């Protein structure tokens, strides 16, 4: 099964390299450009949101912060909760991470070819440490392998606490529209997030009393399962690209 997983990830990485952004990605970016996007939360791991111009990093690079005081830089990094425009709930296939030392490296074309062979590549950092230990006469240790830096089923997101704080921050900003696109509504964490957001959006309708405010729209090829009637105000059946044109 491990070989199948790595082979599939290698093939997927190759397909992502060839992929192009869709009209749906362009629509989300237009919302952002017009100041209408509070935030995008995505289950996709292809990083096309980043390619279309939505920031997916959680903190701004220090070099990009106009300040000579390092302490001030750190404060700005942690305080700007509007910086991240798209939250990747399941990680992405841009990087790989070591199973032992947690060193990260780019998921390069060369590594994608190794993945496609079904063999987990060894971690270069662990190999380097192993060589050094051998030179100084220390016993060998377990060497890690590289795996995609994504969140698999039943795994916790390494940035889960930060994502939770962003979600809480967004709810306090009182959004008045929620668009849910192309999800099975089966993953517990995603279901809980959508329900919390929908309650917040519907509450905004009572506060603002504006026509059209407080609506939740679900765009999907399949109808929502039972138990979602009180969550979605509108269901648009079909392809998202066609629905949003």
Residues 99, 147 contacting (CB under 8 angstroms)? yes
Query: On the CB side of 233, how many CA atoms lie within 13 Å of its CA?
Result: 15
The contacts of residue 239 (CB under 8 Å, 6+ apart) are: 221
Catalytic one among 90, 102, 109, 157?
Answer: 90
Closest CA to 189 of 138, 155, 214: 155
Question: Hunting for tokens 């050094």 — which residue is that?
Answer: 132
* Residue 90 annotated as catalytic: yes
Residues 84, 55 contacting (CB under 8 angstroms)? yes
Q: Three-state DSSP class for 156? A: coil
Alpha helices (H) in the chain, listed in sequence order: 2-18, 23-33, 48-51, 70-79, 109-116, 124-135, 160-172, 188-208, 240-244
Count helices and strands in the chain by DSSP H and E runs: 9, 8
The Cα 219–Cα 214 span in angstroms is: 17
Q: Three-state DSSP class for 102? A: coil
Active site residues: 90
């Amino acid at each position: 099964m491990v070989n199948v997983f790595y082979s599939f990830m290698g093939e997927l990485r190759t397909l992502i390299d060839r992929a192009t952004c869709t009209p749906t990605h362009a629509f989300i970016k237009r919302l952002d450009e017009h100041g209408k996007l509070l935030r995008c939360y995505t289950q996709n791991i292809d990083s096309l949101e980043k390619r279309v111009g939505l920031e997916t990093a959680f903190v701004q690079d220090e070099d990009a912060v106009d300040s000579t005081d390092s302490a001030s830089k750190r404060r700005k990094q942690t305080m700007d909760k509007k910086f991240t425009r798209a939250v990747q709930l399941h990680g992405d296939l841009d990087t790989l991470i070591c199973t032992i030392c947690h060193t990260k490296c780019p998921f390069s074309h060369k590594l994608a070819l190794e993945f496609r062979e079904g063999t987990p590549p060894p971690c270069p950092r662990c190999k380097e440490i192993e060589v050094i230990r051998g030179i100084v006469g220390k016993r060998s240790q377990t060497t890690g392998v590289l795996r995609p830096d994504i969140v698999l089923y039943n795994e916790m997101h390494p940035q889960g606490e930060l994502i939770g704080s962003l979600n809480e921050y967004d709810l306090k900003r009182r959004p008045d529209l929620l668009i849910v696109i192309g999800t099975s509504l089966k993953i517990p964490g995603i279901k809980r997030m959508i329900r919390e957001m929908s309650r917040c959006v519907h509450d905004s309708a009572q506060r603002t009393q504006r026509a059209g405010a407080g609506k939740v729209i679900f765009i999907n090829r399949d109808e929502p399962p039972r138990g979602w009637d009180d969550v979605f105000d509108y269901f648009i059946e079909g392809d998202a690209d066609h629905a949003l044109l």
